[in-house]
Amino acid sequence: MKQSEIKVLSVGILGLGTVGGGTYTVLNRNASEITRRTGVAINVVQAADRHLSHAESVTGNAAILTDDAFAVVNNPAVDVVVELIGGYTLSKELVLKAIENKKHVVTANKALIALHGNEIFAAAKANNVIVAFEAAVAGGIPIIKALREGLGANRIEWVAGIINGTTNFILTEMRDKGLGYQDVIGEAQRLGYAEADPTFDVEGIDAAHKLTIMSAIAFGMPMKFEQAYTEGITKLQQIDIQYAEELGYRVKLLGITKRTTQGVELRVHPTLVPEKRLVANVNGAMNAVVVKGDAVGPTLYYGAGAGAEPTASAVVADLMDVARLMDASSAQRVPYLAFQPDQVQDLPILPMDEVQSAYYLRLRASDKPGVLADVTKILGDRGISIDAMMQKEPDENETQADIVILTHVTVERNMNAAITAIEALEAISGKVVRIRMEELGR
Ligand code: HSE
């Protein structure tokens, strides 16, 4: 390609932290390969960061740096703004300003898209600009591309993913080393997997952001983060990981979204997954997403869900899409939510009571005749069918035994009623432990 034929895409980056630095590095290292692919030279013309000396150590070029992010979104020389500062207050203001200024936007910000995506896409449509967010979900895994384009022929039935590396690292350590959550969280923080305040990760909020985005583009509906059910891993006990293992299951924090005839399930919680499933064997900080399409069946996407260059891989791929499509009409671009804007449907999110799941139950019961019969009657009376059962011998000098029950799929409302009734039995002590279970096979 002659130099004179090469178009230029001028990029402004907001935030030169881990992902910003990785983006700058990948853009530079692979510049000629990227231009060979797109026919466009993608040049960073300005970058904003609060810490200018750090920013200079990343770019080695003080001339393009500013500590004023608004200078970038208002810079007439910038075609596309890459938002990598995170949060959803300042970043929202900056993204909306960039859009108002007719600049395309690439963002890695899952919270921003999950909470304010509907407003951002409406503004982007009105201004005829692209908003791309591949890096917001599962870091380097091109899951947005897969859902929006690669699987476009399918009616997508469900998506289930390990979409938080921190919690997957913690669960892997708990299983491998037989440790409790409290023993592992400190190590995760020391190794830099978990933040000083790990709430967003360990309580499932980060996963719910990513799940919300996948759900919206899988089913063609608005972002509904506020209605996502979110349960983290902080209350998980080592003994349940062990018992699950004995029964052939692994415990994973899954984000699950399913389309049913009544509505959409949108839930993040610890889940038993059969150990024979590939996704059950995704360990450490890695991410994986299973997508079930009606034509293709279940498909699996695996890779690094975080980190400088894995996330940059997604950011730069989005920049390449912008480079290819910036001159195209909006009709030629892939719609923000994968479906034509006037075809986006306001599907209802099912309350947890109406969700369908199989269950792992652990109860502590007096080891005497009739207890199991009472428990199975409570389940049977509510139409809950038992799949497997395991009773652990009481320890010496103990009169209570752990009973573990796996059930077939039922409606959560029935299970809640059954658990209340089981806990009321005189022979049962304490609370019943309940973990949802998914086959992920069909
Ligand atoms: N904190 C996230 C995780 C990475 O642990 O997967 C960024 O989304």
Angle at which helix 110-126 crosses helix 90-100, to 10 degrees, equals 20
Given a cut of 90, whether residue 193 has pLDDT beyond it is no
Q: Do residues 253 and 233 touch, judged by C-beta distance below 8 A?
A: yes
Bridge partner residues of 255 (DSSP): 161, 268
Q: Is 313 helix (H, G, I), strand (E, B) or coil?
A: helix
For ligand 1, the distance from its centroid to the CA atom of residue 138, given in whole angstroms, is 8
pLDDT band at 144 (very low <50, low <70, confident <90, very high): very high
**Domain 143-304 CATH (choose: 3.10.20.740, 3.40.50.1100, 3.30.360.10, 3.40.50.2020):** 3.30.360.10
Mean pLDDT of all residues in 248-273: 98
For the chain, the domains span: 3-140+309-343, 143-304, 356-436
210 flagged as catalytic:
yes
pTM of the model: 0.96
pLDDT band at 2 (very low <50, low <70, confident <90, very high): low
Closest of 384, 160, 393 to residue 280, by C-alpha: 160
Q: Is 211 helix (H, G, I), strand (E, B) or coil?
A: helix
309 lines ligand 1 (CB under 6 A): no
The residues, ordered by sequence, that sit 6+ positions from 364 with a Cβ below 8 Å of its Cβ are: 400, 401, 402, 403, 428, 429, 430
- What does residue 224 show for φ and ψ, rounded to 5 degrees? -130, 50
pLDDT band at 131 (very low <50, low <70, confident <90, very high): very high
pLDDT at 120: 98
pLDDT at 181: 95
Taking the CA of residue 195 as reference, the ligand 1 atom at the shortest distance is: 1
Token pair belonging to 194 = 């978990």
109 lines ligand 1 (CB under 6 A): no
165 lines ligand 1 (CB under 6 A): yes
pLDDT band at 167 (very low <50, low <70, confident <90, very high): very high
What CATH architecture applies to the domain 3-140+309-343?
3-Layer(aba) Sandwich (3.40)
Q: Which of 206, 212, 254, 309 to mutate to test the pocket of ligand 1 (most atoms within 8 A of CB)?
A: 206
pLDDT band at 289 (very low <50, low <70, confident <90, very high): very high
164 lines ligand 1 (CB under 6 A): yes
Q: What percent of the chain has pLDDT over 70?
A: 99
Token pair belonging to 59 = 């770019």
Given a cut of 80, whether residue 4 has pLDDT beyond it is no
> Which of the residues 103, 210, 252, 292 is marked catalytic?
210
Taking the CA of residue 164 as reference, the ligand 1 atom at the shortest distance is: 6
305 lines ligand 1 (CB under 6 A): yes
Q: Among 50-64, 186-200, 332-346, 420-434, where is mean pLDDT lowest?
A: 186-200
Token pair belonging to 132 = 């791309």
201 lines ligand 1 (CB under 6 A): yes
For ligand 1, the distance from its centroid to the CA atom of residue 196, given in whole angstroms, is 13
pLDDT one-digit tens code per residue, 76-106: 999 999 999 999 999 999 999 999 999 999 9
Mean pLDDT of all residues in 340-345: 96
pLDDT at 441: 86
CATH number of 356-436: 3.30.70.260
Mean pLDDT of all residues in 11-22: 97
Q: How far apart are CA 415 and CA 35, in angstroms?
A: 56
For ligand 1, the distance from its centroid to the CA atom of residue 147, given in whole angstroms, is 20
Q: Which of 19, 88, 137, 164 to mutate to test the pocket of ligand 1 (most atoms within 8 A of CB)?
A: 164
pLDDT at 1: 62
